[in-house]
A = this chain, B = another copy of it.
């Protein structure tokens, strides 16, 4: 979306920043169903037509903001061993994603008409897993298969968050990790 802009600096960037900030602020206080483009525009000090032209519609704007928030900034904690690294990461992931803002971000990303958004979102997760995997290999530990973790650990957590059919409590997450690592796939 805002990635392949022809002009990246100056005014354009300032507006993007202002709009993103406004969206984040509004998401914290306002229910998504009562958020409107004119509302965001006013808070950002731009005209609505600017937002419509640049992002298309509210869904795409929200997806853009959500994806920006999900983009990795720091590596997962290094706990000293692969199993505990993985456990810590997954528990954190579940907690963040199942929170109110986390849910909102996921839903925004999945609703984007930009087909690549959802894919990129799961790439971020895989990137983190790759970091943990590299770290394990560097330690001389047995590596794990990323796709396997996605299927056995991440997918069920995401499913329960989306369909609201159970809590993704730390114990449950740890169980998923343990079971996945113990089964010799």
Residue among B57, B155, B179, B183 making CB contact with A155, cutoff 8 Å: B155
A24 proximal to B (CB < 8 A): no
Within 8 A of B (CB), among A93-108: 107
Interface of A is mostly: helix
- What is the copy number of this chain in the assembly? 2
26 A-B contacts (beta carbon < 8 Å): A33-B57, A33-B113, A107-B110, A107-B111, A111-B111, A115-B164, A118-B162, A118-B163, A118-B164, A119-B164, A119-B165, A121-B163, A122-B159, A122-B163, A122-B165, A150-B156, A151-B156, A151-B159, A151-B176, A152-B152, A155-B155, A155-B158, A155-B159, A155-B160, A159-B159, A183-B183
Chain B, residue nearest A126 (CB): B165
Chain B, residue nearest A125 (CB): B163
A154 proximal to B (CB < 8 A): yes
- Are B159 and A110 in contact (CB-based, < 8 A)? no
A140 proximal to B (CB < 8 A): no
Interface size on A, residues (CB 8 A): 29
Chain B, residue nearest A159 (CB): B155
- Are A110 and B162 in contact (CB-based, < 8 A)? yes
What is the bound-complex CA distance between A151 and B160, given in angstroms? Answer: 9
Q: What's the minimum C-beta distance from A6 to chain B, rounded to whole angstroms?
A: 24
A9 proximal to B (CB < 8 A): no
Contacts of A151 in B (CB 8 A): 152, 156, 159, 176
What is the bound-complex CA distance between A185 and B159, given in angstroms? Answer: 20
